[in-house]
Amino acid sequence: MASALPDDPLAPDWLIVPEDANALPPRIWPASARRAADGALTLGGVGVAELRERFGTPLYVLDEDEVRTHARRFVAAFGTAAEAHGTTARVYYAGKAFLSAEVARWVVEEGMGVDVCSRGELELALAAGVDPARIGFHGNNKRVSELERAVEVGVGTIIVDSVIEIERLGAIAERRDRVQHVLLRVNSGVHAETHDFLATAHEDQKFGFPLTEAPAAVARIREIPSLSLLGLHCHIGSQIFGASGFEESASRVVDLHAALLAGGELPLLNLGGGFGIAYTAADAPTPIEQLAAAIVEAVAQECDVRGVPIPGLAFEPGRSVVGQAGVTLYEVGTTKPVSLGDRGERLYVSVDGGMSDNARPALYGAQYSARIASREGAGAPVLVRVVGSHCESGDIVVDHEYLPGDVTPGDLLAVPATGAYCHALASNYNHAPRPAVVAVRDGRARVIVRGESIADLLGRDAGLDQDAAPQTSPNPIVQKSGRSAGEGEA
C-alpha cells in the first residue's frame, strides 16, 4: 500500500495529509455538497448513486444554486464598489468557461450580461433568449461572417483586436446603416502570476494592441462614422489570486484612458476577469468583495491623480462564477501500486474518463482534488494519482491527492471545481463520447447538455454506411426505460 507519511518524498510541499480523507473542504466544493447518513455524497440534494444509475459516468454535475449565488455575489460586489466611487459597473459572464442555454439564463436572471468569443457561443446565447444588447463579443480573428451576424442582431459591444478588424467592422456596420459600439482591447504589459498560457496582457501574444499603438487605433475608430468607441478593454490573465496585478494594470490603462479623453468621451473601462478559484485545500483565493473593492479603489485613485472622472466599469468573470459549482463523477476501474524504488510507492487509481473530459491537467499542469463519493472510505490516507483511460501517460485527472487506503474498483470518485473549462474543452480523443451535464437543485436532477453515444460518434463519420453501422448502446448506460443516459428529467 502507498505511503501516507507526511514527509512522503513523492508528495509536493503544498499537499497536506488530511486529518479526514473523506472531508469536503468548503472552498472547493459546492455549498450543497455533504455526506448522507450512509456516507455517500449528495449534491443539490441528489445522491450520487441516483446520478450514476440515471446518467452513468463520467458525468458533469452542476449545482444551479451555486452558479446563481456566485453570479449574484459578483453583480453585488462590483455594483457596491462602483457606487461607493460614484460610478456604475456592468458584469458579464465569460461564456468560454462553460456555456449552455440554462447557464446563460441563470446568469442573466441574476443580473449579468454574457461575453462570447465565437459564432457558436453567440448563437447559443441568442437561442437561450439573451438580449443581444447585453452581449459582448471577443476574439482576435473574428470572421467576416461573425462580425456581420453580430452587427445584424445588435450585439451591444464588440471588442476590436486589430486594425484589420476595425476596418472590416466599420464597413459592415456602414453597409447595414448601423452604428456599432466597440471597445479597443489593449495590452497593459502586466504579466499575471499564472501559467504562461493563461497570461494575456504581456506583449508577445496574439491579443490586443500595445499601449503605444492604441492611440492610433483609437484615432482610426473615431474617424469611422459607423463605429462608436465606448472605451478600452484589458484582460491580464486567468486563475489570478489577489488584486495587485489588476491594480497595476489599472494604473497603466487609466493613464492611456486619460490621455485619450482629449479626443472624445470614453464612458467605459472594461478590466476583464480572470479571478481565481480554489482547486485544492492549499488554494486561498481572495473573496470577490475584497477584490472588487480594491480594484475599483485603484481605478478611482488613478483617475483622481490625473484629474479625470472615473468611467463606468465592466468586468468579465467566468471560472469564478461556474467553477466551484461543478463536480465530475467517475467510476474507479483499477488500482495499481507502483514502486518507485527508494522514492517510495504511489497508488494509481484509474477512472473511466480522463483528458477527454478534463484537459486542464495536460494543458496547464492544473491541480485538482478528489474524494470517494459512493461511501466514506476507511483506513489511513494514501498518496494517489488519479488517472484516466486514454492512451497517454499524461492522461492525469488528479496529480497528487490523499484518499482513504481502501479505495477500490467500483467506487465512485468525485472531482470538485470542474465547472469551468472541463466540458468547454472536452474532446472525443480515443473516440470517447463527451459526458452529459446534469444540473442539480432542491433534490432534483435534470440534463442540461445531452451526453454523446458511440452511435453519435459513428454517425459523424462519412465513410460509414449508416444502414450497416453496428447497433450500439449509448455511453455509458442504457436506462431501464430504454432511453439514452442523456435524456429525461425528474
DSSP SS3 for 286: coil
Residue 94 one-letter amino acid: A
- Which of 73, 167, 163, 176 minimizes the C-alpha distance to 155? 176
Gap between the Cα atoms of 429 and 156, Å rounded: 37
Residue 476 one-letter amino acid: P
Supply φ then ψ for residue 419, to 5 degrees.
-75, -25
Gap between the Cα atoms of 328 and 358, Å rounded: 9
C-alpha cell at 374: 459512493
Please check whether residue 320 is in contact with residue 276, taking contact to mean a CB–CB distance below 8 angstroms: yes
**421 marked as binding residue:** yes
Q: Which of 117, 303, 391, 422 is catalytic?
A: 391
- H or E segment at 43? strand 41-43
**318 marked as binding residue:** yes
Please check whether residue 3 is in contact with residue 345, taking contact to mean a CB–CB distance below 8 angstroms: yes
Supply φ then ψ for residue 31, to 5 degrees.
-60, -25
Please state the separation of Cα 256 from the chain's center in Å: 30
**60 marked as binding residue:** no
Instruction: List the alpha helices (DSSP H) in 110-178.
Output: 119-127, 144-153, 163-175
**274 marked as binding residue:** yes
**364 marked as binding residue:** yes
Which residues does 332 contact at the CB level (< 8 Å), separation at least 6? 349, 350, 351, 407, 408, 409, 410, 411, 412, 413
Please check whether residue 218 is in contact with residue 263, taking contact to mean a CB–CB distance below 8 angstroms: yes
Which residues does 467 contact at the CB level (< 8 Å), separation at least 6? none
Residue 234 designated active-site: no
**317 marked as binding residue:** yes
**319 marked as binding residue:** yes
Which parts are annotated binding residues for pyridoxal 5'-phosphate? 274, 316-319, 421
List, as residue ranges, the binding site.
274, 316-319, 360, 364, 392, 421
Binding-site residue numbers for substrate are 319, 360, 364, 392, 421
Active-site amino acid positions: 391
